[in-house]
Amino acid sequence: MEVGETIGSGPNRFVITSELGSGAMGTVYKALFHHDGRVADVALKVVAPGLLGNDGARARFDREASILKQLRHPHIVRLFATGRFKRTPFIAMEFVDGEPLDRALARRNKLSWEEVAAYGRQLCEALQYAHEKGIIHRDLKPSNLMITPDGQLKLTDFGIAKDTDVTALTGANSTIGTAAYMSPEQCKGERNLTPKSDLYSLGVVFFELLSGRKPFAADTTVEMFMKHVHEAPPRIGKIVPGMPAKFEALVLQLLEKEKENRPTDAAWVGRMLGEVEEDAFARKSAGLDAATARRGDRPKRGSDERPLSDADKDAVRALRGVKKKKRKPDRVPVFDRPAVKAAALLAGLAGLAGLAYALTRPPSAEKLAAAVDAATTPAARLEAAEAYLRRYGDVPGEATDRAAAVFRDGQARDREGELAKRFPYPKLRADPDKADPDAYRDAMDAIQAEQAGLLADAAFLWERIEKRFPEEAGLAYTFDERRLENARLAWVAAKRRRDIRAVPAREKDIDARIYDLRRYEKAAPADPSNPDAVALKARRAEQAGDWEKAGRLWDAAVGLTDKDPDQHVLYLLAKEHRRAVDAKPPAADPAARRRDEVLKRVAAAEGRARELKNPGENVVVERGDWVLLRIALREVAELYEDEADPAVAEAVGRAKKLLAAVAKEGD
């Protein structure tokens, strides 16, 4: 589809006006929906062309349309129409003129508790409505919450929502959703999820919006799952000063590990948020009344009485025998008295001194620690950690330990980036750059060993750097320039050694995912821009014995990870496997070998399908026979659907067609 293109004709049609965004699953366009003489802006969601043959992607797309048809709520994005254009499915949804909460969070770091409570009440209304319809969202996160300019919230993306009235898309023990927001039962792969799974995710969303960070941080999906299942969340009240205690208690209750301990339903959560707002309003109102209260007017004297003259007063005194009092000199106004003026001057000076102190007073440890937690970029986190440590680094405690860890990580990341920039240039590689020459040379040699896939050699060199600076390596932090230079190199070495040690676990994680894909007959991710998806495909190519294709895929994984410090473990894994592939005896004609192997596997699958559909006498066909056939077909289709060889493409098409034909056999 292209901007300006018209879909449909007559009174009901769509005219594409702009592209809103695209991703692995497809593209979203803004369009004008002409319907029975009326025109409305819509968001047109179109499946990516590469996923048209992907059963899992198509099922997710169809599921979202099916679920949105059931939902009509002011805080849920509305479905207008569904259809196909040139065999490509599309969904026309309400166009929300606003921004997702994750973008607002990235811009502002965190939101006030008042805003979160207001958005939360709207979200609870939407969730309660969906839950009562038997629909569990399963992917609640800030990026799926749109906010309009007037503060209206819209819940979006029901692509992996579960309709409890129909069969789920995934099998038992499967995990769907974004790992950082998933409930413990999702992480454990429980089949029968309940609305309380969404309530846990709601707690994670509240935590992130309020604090600017997620309750748990992890390097791998498996580690994140373990934290959701076993680790208690931090006390958010310590991170967000001034947060109402009732709101903090609500967030912690939403994050309970056992679903029985979470709130009853979303409606109850909404009522609690309302109470939090009412309590705060009542406190503010009481304070305002007390601050603005005035004295009552004093009673006035009767206006009918004629005031006595001085002569009259003297006559009265004479009759009573009272002597006239001597008149006191006129009283000096209070504010003109010297003592009062002096006191006022002293008070003014004291006020100025107080103001000067307030303006120059160092920020508290709590405020500086909160700034570390609130920072969203590595540079900002390092700056905030340094500000804390320079003033409170000698104060023991959790906040100091956390700031020191951020400082070490930030300094190591910066030094790591400097080494990476210098490595490609021989002259710079030979220049120690103020560092210890021997340690610097070891660091460059270690980077070269990593690039060659020689991880054991790299680990040895990094360890040697750590041993060269044992004292600096063990420092929590330092601001001494010379010691810091050695410490930065030692911290880089420690990080790179941890990454190397994590490579086997990363490989096991990939193998476990491949096993789950086969066991539960799930479609593999097919995004060529996703390094995890590319690495998984490369490992499958290795298992299929297609070393040439595996090498190409590992090279692609290297290209996607070599500039990203957070993906360094996967980079090392790709380099190690690329070296192993290079060690294999090269095939005389890899393309011909691949073509023969694919044709043979597809022909064998077709023959097996005929046997299972027409078994001989006394032959019992088990469900597992069909499962193995589908696994074989899916392996061929997913592994080779990107090949340009016409014969391979034709065989892949046959495999997909047969897979669709036997999709429900044996169920």
pLDDT digits (tens, 9 = 90+) for 141-191: 998 899 988 888 999 877 655 544 443 444 434 455 678 999 999 888 887
Give the C-alpha separation, 623 to 613, whole Å.
12
* Residue 54 within a domain: yes
Number of domains in the chain: 5
Q: Which of 236-240, 251-255, 275-279, 310-314 has the lowest mean pLDDT?
A: 310-314
Assess whether 57 and 111 both reside in one domain: no
CA distance 327 to 346: 34
Last residue of a domain, one of 95, 111, 138: 95
Q: Helix (H, G, I), strand (E, B), or coil: what is residue 14?
A: strand
Domain stop point among 549, 582, 615: 582
Whether residues 84 and 136 fall in one domain: no
Is 105 found in the same domain as 89? no
Q: Are residues 377 and 497 in the same domain?
A: yes
Whether 75 is in a domain gets the answer yes
In the block, residue with structure tokens 């979160």: 116
Region of poorest pLDDT, from 77-86, 255-264, 396-405, 504-513: 77-86
In a domain, 59, yes or no: yes
Query: Does residue 451 sit in the same domain as residue 483?
Result: yes
Whether 630 maps to a domain, the answer reads yes
3-state secondary structure of 154: strand
Give the length of the chain: 667
Q: Please give the Cα distance from 493 to 459 (Å, whole number).
A: 9
- pLDDT band for position 199 (cuts 50, 70, 90): very high
pLDDT digits over 285-294, tens only? Answer: 555 555 544 4
Tell me: the pLDDT tens digits for 47-97? 776 666 566 666 666 766 777 777 788 898 888 877 777 777 788 888 888
Q: Which two tokens stand for residue 178?
A: 């974004």
pLDDT of residue 300: 47
Token representation of residue 632: 């074989």
- Just list the catalytic residues: 139
- What is the rounded CA–CA span in Å between residue 218 and residue 221? 7
Cβ contact 382:404 at 8 Å: no
| Average pLDDT rounded to a whole number, residues 608-615 | 90
Same domain, 118 and 267: yes
**Would 325 be classed as within a structural domain?**
no
What distance in Å separates the CA atoms of residue 623 and residue 629, rounded to the nearest whole number? 10
| Domain CATH number, residue 162 | 1.10.510.10
Which domain covers residue 452, as residue numbers? 365-504
Same domain, 128 and 264: yes
The answer to whether residue 556 scores a pLDDT higher than 60 is yes
Name the more confident of 446 and 424: 446
pLDDT at residue number 162: 54
| 116 touches 206 (CB < 8 A) | yes
Share of the chain above pLDDT 70, in %: 81
Q: What are 308-364's pLDDT values in tens digits? A: 455 445 544 544 444 455 555 555 565 556 665 666 667 666 666 655 555 555 678
Would residue 321 count as lying in a domain?
Answer: no
User: Is 409 in contact with 565 (CB distance < 8 Å)?
Assistant: no
**Residues contacting residue 50 through CB under 8 Å, at least 6 positions apart:** 526
- DSSP of 504-563: HHHHHHHHHHHHHHHHTT-PPP--TT-HHHHHHHHHHHHHTT-HHHHHHHHHHHHHHHTT
Q: CA 140 to CA 180: how far, in whole Å?
A: 10
Average pLDDT, the chain: 83
- At residue 303, the pLDDT reads 46
pLDDT at 339: 65
Mean pLDDT of 605-617: 89
- The verdict on 106 and 82 lying in the same domain is no
205 near 241, Cβ under 8 Å?
no
**Stretch among 437-451, 511-525, 612-626 having the lowest mean pLDDT:** 612-626
Supply the pLDDT for residue 304: 46
Taking the C-alpha atoms of residue 174 and residue 178, their distance in angstroms, rounded to an integer, is 13
Indicate the residue type of 549. Answer: K
Q: Which residue has the higher pLDDT, 539 or 84?
A: 539
For residues 155 and 258, membership in a common domain is answered with yes
- For residue 103, which amino acid is it? R
Q: Are residues 379 and 493 in the same domain?
A: yes
Which of 145-149, 303-307, 604-608 bottoms out in mean pLDDT, i.e. has the lowest?
303-307
Q: How confident is the model at residue 237 (pLDDT cuts 50, 70, 90)?
A: confident
> What's the pLDDT at 176?
55
Helix (H, G, I), strand (E, B) or coil at 233: coil
- Whole-structure pTM value: 0.49
Give yes or no for residue 272 having a pLDDT over 50.
yes
Boundary residue ending a domain (237, 267, 286): 286
pLDDT band at residue 241 under the 50/70/90 scheme: confident
Q: Residue 303: inside a domain, yes or no?
A: no
pLDDT the model gives residue 395: 87
| 328 in any annotated domain | no
Strands (E), 119-235: 135-136, 145-147, 153-155, 162-163
Pair 405, 445 in one domain? yes
Same domain? For 81 and 128 the reply is no
Strand 135-136 relative to strand 162-163, pairing = antiparallel
Tokens encoding 83:
């259809």
Closest by CA to 61, choosing from 42, 74, 46, is: 46
